A and B are shown apart, each in its own frame.
Chain A
Amino acid sequence: MAAVLVENIDKSYGNVTALKSIGFQMDDGEIFGLIGPDGAGKSTLFRILTTLLLPDGGRASVAGHDVIQEYKHIRKKVGYMPGRFSLYQDLSVEENLSFFATIFGTSIQENYDLVKDIYQQIEPFKKRLAGKLSGGMKQKLALCCALIHKPEVLFLDEPTTGVDAVSRKEFWEMLQSLKKKNIAILVSTPYMDEASLCDRIALMQNGEILKIDSPGQMVIDFQKPLYAIKTEHTYTALSYLRSASFTRSALPFGEFIHLTTNKPYEALQIKDDLERVGIPIQEVKRTAPSIEDIFLDLSQTNEPIDA
């Protein structure tokens, strides 16, 4: 049985289309990532699947139940961590957890196994008010509260936004261990580097899914020649490359410029070409694409900014 099944879901707010016939299927025990920037429609999709918002059209089911007809069943079987911190700030860590256990008709003791690894990290602060926790600790408490009733499907809406690189890494390690307990996890993120930690991902932009596959397969499927160019003169090199006839796209990627071309070239040829116009180049090499390269290739930005 699919943990989540979505078919042709549409949603608009007035004139704004938030979701355009979205469809995908997610299996039990799978970590499925919705990858895309703000405004892609990720949160709207979460709210429909957690039965907090009605779609305009299409069908969806979660843990085998229809999101409209059987919404009450779904609410018992899913855990939801919204993008905005939504625990009770004036209750302590322990009180929040016990509150969420009680409303789902269970107790902390009953499902302690599931949250133990995460809860132990914040247990020294269990008497502290939730509002007084640091960002990383709030995130861990919210995850515990979403898990305490042993859900079949876990919905995490941008759990790592605004969180530093180390806490983000730890958070993903926690998700890997939850996966082993056969909980299906739908998680959204604007950080493209987190995509590779999912079993499968959907790249989203402006209410549409651009592509669905495993991150590994997406990399294999990327056919365009891609080069990483290292130079101290990033800005000059970028402007030159953008006017060059062989260029498809030239974008800054950390310490490199990523260049895609219309047809394959020898790396040395590209280096020579740049140096001939007086741009010193440290290195040019063929490179494998990251998910961000793939997203940039598929996405049509609707915000033309001509430099």
Chain B
Amino acid sequence: MHKQNIIEVDGLTKKFGDFTAVDAISFQVKRGEIFGFLGANGAGKTTAIKMLIGLSRPTEGKGKVAGFDIDEEAEQVKKNIGYMSQKFSLYDDLTPKENIRFYGGVYGLSRNRIKERTRDILKELRLEEVADKPVVALPLGWKQRLAFAISMVHDPDIVFLDEPTGGVDPQVRRQFWETIYQVAEQGRTIFVTTHYMDEAEYCDRVSIMVTGKIEALDTPEKLKETYNANTMDEVFLRLVRY
């Protein structure tokens, strides 16, 4: 595996019976990149992500994520990545502090390290005031940023964000993306899925899946050039609509 690649996937395939959900996809993601993983509903995105984060075993092909084989070292993969989905995995009736402690424990951090991380996260997000109130009372935007911070509690090199901005305020959506930029600038890799095509423009590179295959992969700029389109929305429609 190339030093600067944090994801390397070659011929990755997943079949359910006769149905090929993911059809021999190959790609690399560089360290520090914001990588957009797009596709229509049912194109195989979720199945592909599940294989990348060690939750589902590939039928064929191979891949490495954060330096570990996704098939043979799935447990190592899970320990070395962060993951956040649109359904925030926070416990609503626990406080921000308790949520951080819980996830720190799950990832096997020492008691001291958990203390450190709790202090850092609360300070960074300016959540000190509400640190001891149940998460349920927090506004959506704050919950979202807390969930994002917690997905990095164990300091992973790469974070997977599965539709992180669904349903939120346009302003909050933008603030979240600014947080993503900050995190990427610190050298962490961001792997993100979204249905908002303007967000695809915020990515360094974007791949678009159509019926199990990666049909396009490039910078938003180059994709627009190739498909003679003004926006990523047009690129997407041209690729997916037949």
Seen from chain A, the residues whose Cβ lies within 8 Å of a Cβ on chain B are 37-39, 134-136, 161-167, 169, 190-193, 205, 234-235, 238, 251-255, 292, 295-296, 299, 301-303, 305-307
Contacts and interface: CB of A to CB of B under 8 A. Distances in A.
Contact of A307 (B40, B170, B178): B178
A288 to B, nearest CB: 14
B108 to A, nearest CB: 31
A253 B198 contact: yes
Contact of B171 (A165, A169, A301): A301
Contact of A136 (B42, B177, B178): B42
Given A136-B41, A299-B171, A162 B177 contact: no
Interface of B: 39-43, 126, 139-142, 145, 163, 166-172, 174-175, 177-178, 181-182, 185, 195-202, 220-221, 231-233, 236-237, 240-241
A303 B185 contact: no
Nearest to A305: B175
23 contacts: A37-B168, A38-B168, A162-B195, A165-B40, A165-B197, A165-B240, A166-B236, A167-B41, A169-B241, A191-B196, A235-B178, A235-B182, A251-B174, A252-B202, A254-B197, A254-B200, A296-B170, A299-B169, A303-B140, A303-B142, A305-B145, A306-B126, A307-B178
Contacts of B170: 37, 192, 292, 295-296, 299
B198 A163 contact: no
Contact of B40 (A162, A166, A301): A166
A306 B126 CA distance: 9
Contacts of A166: 40, 236-237, 240-241
A254 B177 CA distance: 11
Contacts, number: 106
Contact of A161 (B167, B181, B185, B231): B167
Residue of A38, A166, A191, A251 with most partner-chain B CB within 10 A = A166
Contacts of A169: 237, 241
Given A234-B181, A254-B201, A164 B40 contact: yes
Contact of A235 (B126, B185, B240): B185
Given A165-B195, A251-B174, 14 more contacts: A38-B168, A135-B42, A161-B166, A165-B197, A165-B237, A192-B170, A234-B181, A251-B171, A254-B197, A255-B201, A255-B220, A299-B170, A301-B172, A303-B141
Residue of B145, B169, B172 with most partner-chain A CB within 10 A = B169
Nearest to B241: A166
A164 B208 CA distance: 12
A292 B237 CA distance: 21
Residue of A38, A165, A169, A238 with most partner-chain B CB within 10 A = A165
B175 A38 contact: no
A165 B233 CA distance: 7
B179 to A, nearest CB: 8
Residue of B126, B171, B233 with most partner-chain A CB within 10 A = B171
B39 to A, nearest CB: 7
Contacts of A193: 233
Nearest to A253: B198
Contacts of A39: 140
Contacts of B174: 251-252
Given A163-B195, A166-B240, A306-B126, A135 B169 contact: no
Nearest to A164: B40
B201 to A, nearest CB: 4
A255 B142 CA distance: 26
A201 B173 CA distance: 21
A252 B177 contact: yes
Contacts of B237: 165-166, 169
B87 to A, nearest CB: 11
Given A39-B140, A169-B237, A164 B175 contact: no
A192 B199 CA distance: 13
Contacts of B126: 306
A238 B175 CA distance: 12
A243 to B, nearest CB: 15
B171 A296 contact: yes
A164 B39 contact: yes
Contacts of A295: 170
A307 B181 CA distance: 12
B136 to A, nearest CB: 12
Contacts of A136: 41-42
Residue of A134, A161, A305 with most partner-chain B CB within 10 A = A305
